[in-house]
């Protein structure tokens, strides 16, 4: 039988996915042939999806949550932009995001024919004043990122939510990466901290579910109703999801992982991953590199491109930021001994 990847996470420092929790793996196996996109037929997995949303609500400070398990952060972000566009009156909608926002917003804007205003960040974070300047009467959504893809930084969510509120725009928070770490930090990022309308939070990243299991949450069901499409031949009358047939394995694994880990397991993981990221940041700083972060368990350092290539040749999966820094994500599979051997290889060159 083929192994999924030759390194099986042994040298993976680039991915936001990780080794699934054993309970998540087992649940995924049991639900491989189920489809939560057809709730009339697959009732057990439909109930599990309700449980997944309830747990995601608990994690993100949202009582009475609505939402669903998406194929990933991309789908959740697309859906947020779609709600914002559908509920607004303007014929010339725009969405204001910090430049650090994930490229899924570029896909959303292109597909939905919405103008995307990417606003330069200051110190790797959304610049509230610059975002305010970019907002106008046609702004349908303001986006804040709670754990950016490249630097793991958290935007000033309450201030951005105030901007959205003043503009009558939807406030969306992308916590796809950060959502399972942030509950154990002092950041203001969730529904209880600010007037947030929708959120992306992905169990298949730090939630330790199997792929695919993203998460999309909305403060109220009327927001989700903006997505409803009639489904004449199914037992259910309408569908809000973007994809039709969906992964029951992802749904079941998300519930299994969250039931096993929320909150204590995730708390332990956050501290272990942060300790590792800080250890690596210190090791890199000791060697003279300029390090950005870690604010969440993710850091970037100005290691040269040729050195990054050499490390890649030795099997290390590391990526570059758009500005060319080496980027390391300390996901649950990343251990201290792995980082020690990474630094030893770095010293070797
Ligand atoms: N949002 C953020 C902040 C991300 O970091 C990512 C992926 O890295 C995404 C969205 C997209 O998620 P996915 O790859 O699951 O579609």
The torsion of the CA quartet 319, 324, 326, 331, rounded to 10 degrees, works out to -50
Q: For residues 175 and 170, give the distance between their C-alpha atoms in angstroms, rounded to a whole number.
A: 16
Q: Angle at Cα 327 formed by Cα 191 and Cα 73, nearest 5°? A: 35
Collect all residues with Cβ–Cβ distance below 8 Å to 43 and sequence separation of at least 6.
none
What spacing in Å lies between the alpha carbon of 98 and ligand 1's midpoint? 15
Residue ranges of the chain that CATH labels 3.90.1150.10:
263-348
Any idea which residue has 């000033």 for tokens?
Answer: 156
The answer to whether the CB of 69 is under 6 A from ligand 1 is no
Residue ranges of the chain that CATH labels 3.40.640.10:
22-261
The answer to whether the CB of 76 is under 6 A from ligand 1 is no
The answer to whether the CB of 149 is under 6 A from ligand 1 is yes
What spacing in Å lies between the alpha carbon of 94 and ligand 1's midpoint? 21
Can you give the pLDDT at residue 235?
Answer: 72
> Which atom of ligand 1 approaches the CA of 73 most closely?
12
What spacing in Å lies between the alpha carbon of 16 and ligand 1's midpoint? 8
pLDDT per residue as tens, the chain (349 positions):
666 664 578 899 999 999 999 999 999 999 999 999 999 999 999 999 999 999 999 999 999 999 999 999 999 999 999 999 999 999 999 999 999 999 999 999 999 999 999 999 999 999 999 999 999 999 999 999 999 999 999 999 999 999 999 999 999 999 999 999 999 999 999 999 999 999 999 999 999 999 999 999 999 999 999 999 988 877 778 899 999 999 999 999 999 999 999 999 999 999 999 999 999 999 999 999 999 999 999 999 999 999 999 999 999 999 999 999 999 999 999 999 999 999 999 998 8
The answer to whether the CB of 98 is under 6 A from ligand 1 is no
Collect all residues with Cβ–Cβ distance below 8 Å to 123 and sequence separation of at least 6.
153
> Which atom of ligand 1 approaches the CA of 212 most closely?
15
* ipTM computed for the complex: 0.99
Residue whose CA is closest, atom 9 of ligand 1?
Answer: 73
The answer to whether the CB of 73 is under 6 A from ligand 1 is yes
**Which CATH class, in words, describes the domain spanning 263-348?**
alpha beta
The answer to whether the CB of 187 is under 6 A from ligand 1 is no
Collect all residues with Cβ–Cβ distance below 8 Å to 185 and sequence separation of at least 6.
154, 270, 296
The answer to whether the CB of 180 is under 6 A from ligand 1 is no
Q: Could you tell which of 15, 121, 151, 177 is best to mutate to test the pocket of ligand 1, judged by most ligand atoms within 8 Å of the CB?
A: 177
Query: In CATH, what number does 22-261 get?
Result: 3.40.640.10
What spacing in Å lies between the alpha carbon of 120 and ligand 1's midpoint? 19
Can you give the pLDDT at residue 151?
Answer: 98
Question: Structure pTM?
Answer: 0.97
Q: For residues 169 and 161, give the distance between their C-alpha atoms in angstroms, rounded to a whole number.
A: 9
What spacing in Å lies between the alpha carbon of 177 and ligand 1's midpoint? 7
**What is the strand order of the sheet 298-301 is part of?**
291-292, 298-301, 326-329, 319-320
Residue whose CA is closest, atom 5 of ligand 1?
Answer: 149
Can you give the pLDDT at residue 5?
Answer: 61
What spacing in Å lies between the alpha carbon of 329 and ligand 1's midpoint? 13
């Amino acid at each position: 039988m083929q192994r999924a990847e030759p390194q099986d996470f042994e040298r993976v420092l680039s991915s936001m996915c990780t080794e699934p929790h054993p309970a998540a793996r087992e649940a995924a196996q049991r639900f491989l042939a189920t489809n939560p996109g057809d709730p009339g037929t697959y009732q057990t997995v439909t109930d599990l999806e309700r449980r997944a949303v309830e747990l995601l609500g608990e994690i993100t400070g949202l009582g009475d949550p609505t939402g669903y398990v998406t194929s990933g952060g991309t789908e959740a972000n697309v859906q947020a932009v779609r709600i914002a566009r559908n509920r607004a009156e303007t014929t010339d909608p725009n969405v204001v995001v910090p430049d650090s926002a994930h490229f899924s917003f570029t896909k959303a804007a292109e597909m939905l024919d919405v103008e995307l205003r990417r606003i330069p960040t200051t110190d790797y974070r959304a610049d509230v004043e610059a975002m305010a300047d970019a907002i106008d009467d046609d702004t349908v959504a303001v986006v804040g990122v709670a754990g950016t893809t490249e630097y793991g930084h958290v935007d000033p969510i309450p201030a951005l939510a105030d901007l959205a509120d003043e503009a009558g725009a939807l406030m969306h928070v992308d916590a796809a990466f950060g959502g399972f770490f942030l509950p154990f930090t002092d950041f203001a990022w969730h529904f209880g901290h600010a007037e947030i309308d929708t959120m992306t939070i992905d169990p298949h990243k730090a939630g330790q579910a199997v792929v695919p299991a993203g998460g999309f949450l909305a403060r109220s069901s009327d927001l989700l109703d903006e997505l409803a499409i009639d489904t004449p031949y199914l037992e259910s009358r309408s569908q809000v999801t973007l994809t039709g047939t969906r992964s029951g394995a992802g749904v079941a694994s998300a519930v299994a992982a969250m039931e096993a880990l929320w909150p204590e397991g995730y708390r332990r993981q956050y501290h272990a991953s942060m300790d590792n990221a800080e250890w690596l940041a210190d090791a890199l700083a000791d060697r003279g590199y300029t390090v950005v972060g870690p604010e969440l368990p993710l850091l970037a350092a100005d290691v040269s491109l040729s050195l990054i290539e050499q490390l890649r040749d030795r099997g290390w999966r590391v990526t570059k930021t758009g500005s060319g820094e080496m980027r390391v994500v300390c996901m649950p599979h990343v251990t201290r001994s792995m980082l020690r051997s990474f630094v030893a290889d770095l010293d070797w060159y």
